Chain A
Amino acid sequence: MDHRSSIEINTEWDIVAARQLGRNEAKSTGFGTVDQARITTAISELARNIYLYAGKGKIEIEPITVGQRTGLLIIASDEGPGIADLQKVMEDGYTTSGGLGAGMPGVKRLMDDFRIETEVGVGTTITATKWLH
């Protein structure tokens, strides 16, 4: 029953497409307005990171059920340069793009579960989940 939707990120417009998909999925999973905003924002941040640092990659969104809990799983993956200093990336205020540096730690706070797997020269996969309460 669960389906996984996927958006390829190649251009700036795909960031908009990804967050629109995220908003719709969040709505149909039954999230309230605040969680919808959290999910949409998190996807926007993840998609933008792919666009800025890897050039291309994809965002996948899947409604999941584990035991009694229902949630939305977001996977952002790219085959870009990878993250050399993971610890720095997770620090508030760290940025290499001239942005606000809210990116990764912000996404972690917006979501319930958050995991990064990265290898320099191979790519990065970020998995984040928001659970329905």
Chain B
Amino acid sequence: MKMRIPILKLKDTLIVSIQVELDDQTALQFQEDLLDQLHKTSARGVVIDLTPIDFIDSFIAKVLGDVIHMTSLMGAKVVITGIQPSVAITLIELGIRLENVTTALDLENGLEKLTRELEA
């Protein structure tokens, strides 16, 4: 039943669009796959788009936070895009602030931000 989240490569950026509700196994599998790809492609940036996701609980938030931390340890930069208002409110009320995360309104915006930050 395990699902794999597709990871696309565009120049030196990895693009991930999470389209399905994440169960714990899929989330952990994604973490592993992304780090693998990062190592293989030596990409410098990652954009994770969460537009279709309608809720994030503390477990998924932790996996996301870990992914961001691990990615930066590997010398790459993560931008999270498309967090829905309802998801943002729920995260804040849960007490999860996701500090030190670069965010953007949508994928396009996120890619722009990433390019700007990598150039800087």
Which A residues fall within an 8 A CB radius of B?
Answer: 12-13, 15-16, 19-20, 23, 33-34, 36-38, 40-41, 44-45, 48, 92-93, 99-103, 105-106, 109-110
Please, which residues of chain B bring their CB within 8 A of the CB of A105? 95
A33 and B54 form a contact (CB under 8 A): yes
Q: A36-B54, A100-B62, A102-B58 are in contact. Are A41 and B89 (CB under 8 A)?
A: no
Q: Is B94 engaged at the interface, CB distance under 8 Å to the other chain?
A: yes
Q: Is B57 engaged at the interface, CB distance under 8 Å to the other chain?
A: yes
Please, which residues of chain A bring their CB within 8 A of the CB of B62? 99-100
Please, which residues of chain A bring their CB within 8 A of the CB of B24? 12, 15
Main secondary structure of the interface of B (DSSP, over half): helix
Please, which residues of chain A bring their CB within 8 A of the CB of B58? 45, 99-103, 106
With beta carbons under 8 angstroms apart, the residue of A12, A20, A34, A48 that contacts B86 is A34
- Number of A-B residue pairs, CB cutoff 8 Å, is 81
A37 and B55 form a contact (CB under 8 A): yes
Q: Considering only CB atoms, which chain B residue lies closest to A95 in the complex?
A: B58
B94 and A106 form a contact (CB under 8 A): yes
Please, which residues of chain B bring their CB within 8 A of the CB of A103? 58
| A and B contact pairs by CB, cutoff 8 A, 18 listed | A13-B1, A15-B23, A19-B55, A20-B21, A33-B54, A37-B54, A40-B55, A41-B57, A44-B55, A44-B57, A44-B59, A92-B95, A100-B58, A100-B65, A105-B95, A109-B95, A110-B90, A110-B93
CA distance A70 to B17 in the complex (A): 37
Q: Is B104 engaged at the interface, CB distance under 8 Å to the other chain?
A: no
CA distance A51 to B108 in the complex (A): 39
A37 and B89 form a contact (CB under 8 A): yes
Please, which residues of chain A bring their CB within 8 A of the CB of B57? 19, 41, 44-45, 48
